[in-house]
Structure 1
């Protein structure tokens, strides 16, 4: 049975014995996971390994599970697709799903935090891809989350916009101090942002490593390259041999 409870002060997420099957096929199989308060964790794995399913469970969007899941009540989620309602202006999209009747100023504070305050009254169809993703982040942040769940939120962005979005998330995390779980296919992204990187395989967390690198990080750092090589190996990816 799943449990959605307040977590201990030092722990944002605790998962014990989590299992989830689809049509009799286990996608998550007796998984264990702890995320500490204020920790930034990146979750990597091949397509179909269960990463997004785990995130949906933590977000409370999938409850057909067995095991125990302890998460904060205040959670924010941003997906790869911004999922903005085209018939609602940006500020109204930010407030979607909030309890009570918060005013526009509440949305605009969150939009200002992601640098989108000037687009508050715009229609979603007029936003660029990066702006739409920032609006999605504002919708997550307006909930004042203790846990921010990010499901490949930069996957559809071009390379330059993706770098800007990564920096924005790093700044928001440092400012907010909430725990973050980022699902990504990008090893460099995981190492640039996270305190700890996990690899999911066969329905469980098969490997994890701390990312004990000074911030800001550089991909040219030898320690970064060593961690990158190790994670790629755990993901079953062989790096090309260096030229002689």
Structure 2
């Protein structure tokens, strides 16, 4: 798989132990450090994501989750270490970031090379259930519709890596559930690797193959989620995984739950 390489060194400067891009990895991060005003927010971080794998990244606010995602997206290159990512990648943020002066279908095509026609946008919008809103203005969309338009803009790029930065954080509870189900369906249909940054432990267990906990600028813990799909929060195993991850995040379960 073709890759972009984000690193401050040239290949001839790389040490003998420097990782070699592998088709077994959709993402390979080696010795990544990112500092702000001399303070490392990410400190010698290592990460691998397999092609087609859904990974969720948890952590306290300020732990570097969104910084890592921006680096993987190529939006922050002031780094030390190596980042190997697919050339075809796309990002969806918490804010849909739709241009209000462009109709929905034109927003979906923003940044695409060449001159793709409206039909390309309509196909992506149909996939997220928004074909009927193709010609609408962004200000007329509900919060859930705007987020689906943002997803369509990501999917139209046919990404090998989809980066999601808390895309459901601003949605109401019911809309959030629908959006989570949509992302799960799209991922299973598309087969691309996904890295989801979230504060929601239930969301991580619901969607991910593997959950990572970031702390101190590194991946401090990881847990594989072996539950069958579709998943439900009523499953006792789901509750156990949720409590385990909450403990890793420093949140203790209520006494009655812990002793049940």
Which whole-Å CA distance do the structure 2 matches of 1:235 and 1:206 have between them?
10
Partner of 1:2: 6
CA offsets 1:72-116 (integer angstroms, 9 cap, x no match): 000010000000000110001001111111111111110000000
1:101-140 equivalent positions in 2, closer than 5 A = 101-140=115-154
CA contact (8 A) 2:165 2:196 kept: yes
Structure 1, unmatched stretches of 5+, are none
- 1:199-218 matches, cutoff 5 A: 199-218=213-232
3-state DSSP of counterpart to 1:160: helix
4+ residue segments displaced more than 4 Å: none
1:154 to 168, 184, 193: 168
Q: Considering only CA atoms, is the larger Rg found in Structure 1 or Structure 2?
A: 2
Match of 1:229 in 2: 243
Matches within 5 A, 1:44-83: 44-83=58-97
Mapped partners of 1:64, 1:88: distance in 2:
32
- Structure 2 length normalisation: TM-score? 0.91
> SS at 1:11's partner residue?
coil
1:234 is displaced (CA, Å) by: 0.6
Aligned residue pair count:
244
Residue 179 of structure 2 aligns to a residue whose secondary structure is: helix
TM-score of the two chains, using structure 1 as the length reference? 0.97
Cα distance in 1 for residues equivalent to 2:78 and 2:142: 36
SS at match of 2:90: strand
1:3 shift after superposition = 4.0
What SS does the aligned partner of 2:6 have?
Answer: coil
Q: How well do the aligned residues superpose, as a CA RMSD in angstroms? A: 1.6
| 1:167 lines up with 2:181 in the alignment | yes
**Residue ranges of structure 2 left out of the alignment (5+ in a row):** 9-19
